[in-house]
């Protein structure tokens, strides 16, 4: 389950993870329309991420995204 503002996202290199996506606010990333520039915890790089659409994403993609949360990396 995702928390209130958690959204599954995909980075430019096709890494999938979950991040906090607050509408109309920028907490720790630069907003670029529907994409954001932020750190990817999977590839450990700075990249552009876009939200995954739960309607078009496959269940395995959503599962993969849910497995990694950028604020829960040890």
Positions that interact with Zn ion (CB under 5 A) = 11, 13, 15, 40, 42-43
Closer residue to Zn ion in complex, CB, 5/37: 37
In whole angstroms, give the CA distance from residue 53 to residue 16.
12
User: Minimal distance in Å, beta carbon 35 to Zn ion?
Assistant: 13
CB 14 to Zn ion: min, Å: 8
Comparing CB distances to Zn ion, the nearer of 14 and 53 is: 14
Name, in order, each residue with C-beta under 8 angstroms of 21's C-beta and a sequence gap of 6 or more.
5, 6, 7, 9, 36, 51
Please provide the size of the chain in residues: 74
């Amino acid at each position: 389950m995702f928390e209130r503002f958690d959204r599954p996202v995909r980075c430019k290199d096709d890494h999938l993870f979950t991040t906090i996506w607050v509408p109309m606010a920028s907490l720790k990333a630069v907003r670029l329309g529907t994409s954001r520039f932020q750190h990817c915890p999977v590839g450990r790089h700075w990249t552009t991420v876009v939200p995954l659409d739960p309607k078009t994403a496959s269940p395995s993609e959503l599962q993969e995204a849910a497995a990694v949360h950028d604020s829960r990396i040890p």
